[in-house]
């Protein structure tokens, strides 16, 4: 059984891993707001538990097992977020903090019940995939809105790096998952997009916003 602290390291490593599965001590340190020497010593501990591959001065990698453990924590996090939104009436901008705590609860029954009550959801309220009971994740290939063309019709699929403020911004524009929008115009100078959708006919979205929105092309 891993401690709460160990779980947080595993989760952070999972999130920060690049495509070859590598993480730096420095990035991990910044992400967790824990100094580098503490990270190093935890890496040694996790290595001794076969959750991490560790060699001095080399990039860190989660072991197969570590990856699974991490995915299962993320599963609990995302199931919780979905439960908070769907069954308890929270807004998608309110659930991260709570899920951050609930994800550490040790009770398979508790999460199995959530899963069932939600009818085995595939995605969380921000469009991120929920890993299955074995820790496997199905990634859908979405496009960044910023990569779409003028004239494209798209459907909102997920938000990247969903922070409180960003989600509140989206709320204020009445943008939510599943929303269909049309790209009316792309400003060449700064890549600002003018989009229209049911409730708004010419909303302007900065490139910073468009890079954080994942969409499905229609």
Residues at the interface with its own copies (CB under 8 A) = 87-90, 94, 97-98, 101-102, 105-107, 109-110, 113-114, 117
Q: Determine contact, residues 73/137, Cβ cutoff 8 Å.
A: no
| Residue 36 contacts which entry, DNA, its own copies, none (Cβ below 5-8 A, type-dependent) | DNA
DSSP code of 120?
S
Shorter beta-carbon distance to DNA: residue 33 or 218 = 33
Q: Is 119 in the site for DNA (CB under 7 A)?
A: no
102 binds, among DNA, its own copies, none (CB under 5 to 8 A by kind): its own copies
Closest to 80 measured CA to CA, from 65, 58, 107, 102:
102
Residue 144 neighbours by CB distance under 10 Å: 13
Q: Are 32 and 12 in contact (CB under 8 A)?
A: yes
Residue number with CB closer to its own copies (104 or 155): 104
SS3 label, residue 22: strand
> Closest distance between its own copies and the C-beta of residue 211, in Å?
30
Instruction: State in angstroms the smallest separation of the CB of 117 from its own copies.
Output: 7
Q: Which two tokens stand for residue 66?
A: 């570590």
Q: Which of residues 30-69 bind DNA (CB under 7 A)?
A: 33-45, 54, 56-57, 59
- How far apart CA 159 and CA 138 sit, in angstroms, is 16
Sites of contact with DNA (CB under 7 A): 3, 5-6, 8, 24-27, 29, 33-45, 54, 56-57, 59
């Amino acid at each position: 059984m891993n401690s709460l602290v160990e779980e947080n390291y595993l989760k952070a490593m999972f999130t920060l891993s690049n495509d070859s599965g590598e993480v730096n001590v420095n990035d991990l340190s910044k992400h967790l707001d824990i100094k580098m020497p503490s990270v190093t010593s935890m890496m040694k501990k996790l290595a001794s538990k076969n959750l991490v591959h560790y060699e001095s001065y080399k990039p860190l990698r989660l072991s197969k097992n570590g990856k699974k453990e991490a995915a299962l924590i993320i599963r609990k996090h995302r199931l919780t977020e979905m439960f908070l939104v769907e069954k308890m009436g929270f807004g998608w901008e309110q659930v991260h903090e709570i899920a951050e705590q609930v994800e550490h609860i040790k009770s398979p029954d508790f999460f199995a019940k959530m899963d069932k009550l939600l009818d085995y959801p595939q995605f969380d309220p921000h469009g991120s995939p929920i890993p299955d009971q074995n820790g496997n994740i199905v990634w859908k290939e979405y496009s960044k809105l910023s990569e779409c063309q003028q004239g494209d019709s798209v459907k909102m699929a997920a938000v990247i790096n969903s922070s409180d403020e960003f989600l509140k911004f989206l709320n204020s524009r009445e943008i939510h998952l599943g929303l269909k929008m049309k790209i009316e115009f792309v400003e060449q100078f700064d890549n600002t997009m003018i989009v229209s959708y049911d409730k708004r006919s010419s909303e302007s979205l900065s490139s910073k916003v468009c890079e954080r929105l994942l969409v499905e092309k229609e």
